[in-house]
Every structure is written in C-alpha cells, then in structure tokens.
Chains A and B, each alone.
Chain A
C-alpha cells in the first residue's frame, strides 16, 4: 500500500538554527514527490517537485533532495516567517492524485 511518513511531527528551532525535515515514502511507480507549505487555515502552497533520485531543488532558505526511499527538506538559517506546516506528497504512475503525509509543524522562534 502506498504510504508517506513525515518526521518529526513537530520541530522547534531558534532563528538561524538549520535543520532538516524527512519524508519517507513507499509507492509503486513514483511519478513525482511534492513539497508544500501550509499556513493555519490556508491552502497548501506549492514549493518543489522532484522526479528522480539525486535531484535537488532550492528556493531561498529551502533545499529539497530526493533518494529512492525518502526526501529531505533542508532549512538553512530559518526565520520566524518560515514557521508553517510542511507537507510532503507523492504521485503514482497511474493517475494524478497526490498521497500526502501528515506534515511537519515547524516553529521558528526569534
């Protein structure tokens, strides 16, 4: 069965303290791994798509990487405005639906 597991569930950082969020997945025929940011009560905001192992993408203080079994979202020198829930999702070979993990709630304190 397709499964996406994110860890940790919650992460508290001090401003400037770099860290990584993990997304482990089990899916037959991966056709994309997606990272989203979600603020409370808002819709998920698209961040990155990764398609193959070894691929990396960067945006400001965020960098996403992909292996055959997991993806990491690295946050370098985070700021309080980076506080949000980060969601990982995978898409299978067939169809367009996304299978989401439960998310990591990130809190960055000044």
Chain B
C-alpha cells in the first residue's frame, strides 16, 4: 500500500459524458501528478500540482482539467468523453517538486475508465 488513494476504482460511462476522478496523496506529500496508461501509449504524464498550484503540463487534452484543493487532494475532470479516453488513470504523489532526494513518486491503485 503506497498511501495514495484513488476513487472510484472503476468507472463506466458513455461518450459525451463528464466524470471526476479523485486522489488523496500520501500524508505530508505536497505534489500530485496525474498519469494516463493505455495499451498503445504506455504511462503518459498529464499534469502536476504542487501545494495547490499547477506546476507542469504534459499531454493533457483541453477537454481534461485538474485542480488541487487546500487539503491537498486532487481531482481530474474529464469531459466530452470519447472512446479513446478509456484507460487507467493514475495519481502519484511526492514530497517535493524538484531536486534530488525525497522526490520519488508513489502511485495510487488507479481508476479504470471505460467509455462506451
């Protein structure tokens, strides 16, 4: 158990819909990262937040957005869903945001999204 929690575990929805994925980081971690894992693309970085502020953006679609709240939990919002958005979505957390040491990322169990 990494200490990172994600809800829900599974999500089945239809094209065009909107969903929200939730993540609670490990106690004491200030950074939250979101990754998408699909069979053909592997693990792809989406976005990072540090202590409530956006720090880095990766290959995140405009239909997707995220935020980190004052209690440090984070939500990933996916809208106008398409079949190709079906994937595993992982949240990870770390103590800091850059530099050496203490920045290992610990991953949650993931949310499996299926878009029908």
Contact = CB atoms under 8 A, between A and B. Distances in A.
Contact of B90 (A44, A51, A94, A101): A44
B31 interface: yes
B107 A45 contact: yes
Interface in B1-21: 2, 4
Given A42-B109, A95-B98, A100 B104 contact: no
A97 B48 CA distance: 7
Contacts of B94: 96
A45 B103 contact: no
Nearest to B56: A95
B97 interface: yes
A98 B110 contact: no
A28 B80 CA distance: 36
Contact of A96 (B35, B44, B103): B103
Contacts, number: 70
A31 to B, nearest CB: 7
Nearest to B4: A43
Count class of interface residues, chain A: 20 to 34
B42 A103 contact: yes
B105 A43 contact: no
Contacts of A49: 104
B96 to A, nearest CB: 8
B98 A43 contact: no
Contacts of A98: 33, 35, 43, 45, 105
Contacts of B105: 34, 46, 96, 98
Q: Lowest 5 A-B CB distances belong to which pairs?
A: A43-B107, A100-B43, A97-B45, A95-B56, A44-B107
Interface of A: 31-32, 34, 36, 41-46, 49, 51, 87, 89, 91, 94-103
